[in-house]
Amino acid sequence: MSQLTEAEFQALRRDSADNIEAYLLDADGLDAVFFLHSLAFYVAARLALNFLVGGRLEAGMTATARQFSKQQYVMLFAQKGVVLPLCALGWMYGVLPPELIYLLTGVYVMSDSMLNATPVRGGSWGGNYAVHAHHLFTMLLCAVGAHLPPRPVMGGALCIFVCEAGSLWLTVAILHPTPRNIKIRFFSFVMSRIVAFAICFDMLCSLEQVLTQALMLLMMIGLGFDNWRTLRSMGGAAGLTGGSMGRSDSLAASLNKVH
């Protein structure tokens, strides 16, 4: 069997990337049909997980861990640990468009609000509208960001990936609140937000229309405020010694019970 030359391989990769992009995107940006298909898949996956491993995590080490359903943990680690890294790799090798990161992030948070709105459905927050507001803001960010010019689109996709990767250890620390995980949680969260802010600032400078710049600035302020609240709920730098995990319970108290 003859091997492909470098030129043939590059041409094949470009053709594959063009075919995938034509499937994911239309003339106006993200394809609505593909979005609906993705949403249906995520909802079906959550429903299946509720059926297979339904209920909350009763053996969670912290009170926060026990608030969330098993389905949410599986979907979170699958999304942040598998789906988004694969999207980033595909984008890096020129096979997948960066808009896919926007689309699947929006679908993920939308399906979370749809399926986990009340404890009866296996969810965790019931009437906590702040969580749904956060999801709505994220969906708005994904919808607007995917329709920006090429350079800001790539910056926004990278920003989403960095922030989601930096947030992964928040869940790890909830499930297993060891001193090492608490430190990783703090530094991964802070460093990812610093990088994301730098990317957003570069995006802001690259925009030409005043209205788009104003919308971008408002989104940056909103994200900054939300992440500042999260950092404060973690206890800030004091969280390195076992401060508050945020939202409901103290990691320090949990660690004392464990040890």
Is 78 within the bounds of a domain? Answer: yes
Q: Say what the alpha-carbon torsion angle 153, 157, 160, 165 is, to the nearest 10 degrees.
A: -160
Is 2 within the bounds of a domain? Answer: no
In the chain, the percentage of residues whose pLDDT exceeds 90 is 17
Query: Which range scores top for mean pLDDT: 67-76, 118-127, 140-149, 192-201?
Result: 192-201
Which residue, among 86, 84, 135, 140, has the nearest Cα to 112 in the 3D structure? 135
- Gap between the Cα atoms of 93 and 111, Å rounded: 29
pLDDT digits (tens, 9 = 90+) for 159-209: 999 999 988 988 888 888 888 888 888 899 999 999 988 988 888 888 777
In the chain, the percentage of residues whose pLDDT exceeds 70 is 70
Six token digits for residue 122: 């296996």
Sorted by sequence, the CB contacts under 8 Å of residue 219 that are 6+ apart come out as 141, 144
Q: What's the domain count of the chain?
A: 1
Q: Residue written as tokens 């609140």? A: 177
- Gap between the Cα atoms of 195 and 158, Å rounded: 10
Is 3 within the bounds of a domain? Answer: no
Is 93 within the bounds of a domain? Answer: yes
Which DSSP state fits 244? E
- pLDDT higher than 70, residue 212: yes
- pLDDT higher than 60, residue 122: no
Cβ 245 vs Cβ 177: under 8 Å = yes
Domain limits at 82?
8-258
- Gap between the Cα atoms of 208 and 100, Å rounded: 24
- Gap between the Cα atoms of 229 and 246, Å rounded: 9
Is 1 within the bounds of a domain? Answer: no
- Collapsing DSSP to helix, strand or coil, 149 comes out as coil
pTM: 0.75
